[in-house]
Amino acid sequence: GAVVSQHPSRVICKSGTSVKIECRSLDFQATTMFWYRQFPKQSLMLMATSNEGSKATYEQGVEKDKFLINHASLTLSTLTVTSAHPEDSSFYICSATAGGFIGTDTQYFGPGTRLTVL
């Protein structure tokens, strides 16, 4: 099956720094990538939808300037948490689809990135 990787798998940073998380589709071209956030013992919440070559679409309540998303190629999307604070500590998961008709395509999930902001 299709494989999606994330890097890094774990990051610890000081408050106020920026952190970049990469999401790569290893064996397929991902026209759309999704970024989710998961707090401890909670479900996944969609943050934004990222289409290659265009601006990301953010969910209500997600700050665009805080969570910068770049989908520069068909195999790579990046999420940058700018000026991170302890409340941004969470598990960030990306997923990717290869395109096709809406409602029929499968999302392939990455292994996640654990962000801890001190």
Partner 1 sequence: KQEVTQIPAALSVPEGENLVLNCSFTDSAIYNLQWFRQDPGKGLTSLLLIQSSQREQTSGRLNASLDKSSGRSTLYIAASQPGDSATYLCAVRPESYNTDKLIFGTGTRLQVFP
Which residues are at the interface with partner 1 (CB under 8 A)? 6, 32, 34, 36, 41-46, 49, 57, 91, 93, 95, 97, 102-107, 109-112, 114
DSSP 54: S
> How far is 96 from 15, CA to CA, in rounded Å?
30
Are the CB atoms for 81 and 48 separated by under 8 Å?
A: no
Phi-psi region of 41 (alpha: psi -120 to 50; beta: other; left: phi over 0): left
Which of residues 30 and 117 has its CB atom nearest to partner 1 in the complex?
Answer: 30
Which of residues 52 and 105 has its CB atom nearest to partner 1 in the complex?
Answer: 105
Which of residues 46 and 76 has its CB atom nearest to partner 1 in the complex?
Answer: 46
CB of 28: closest distance to partner 1 in angstroms? 15
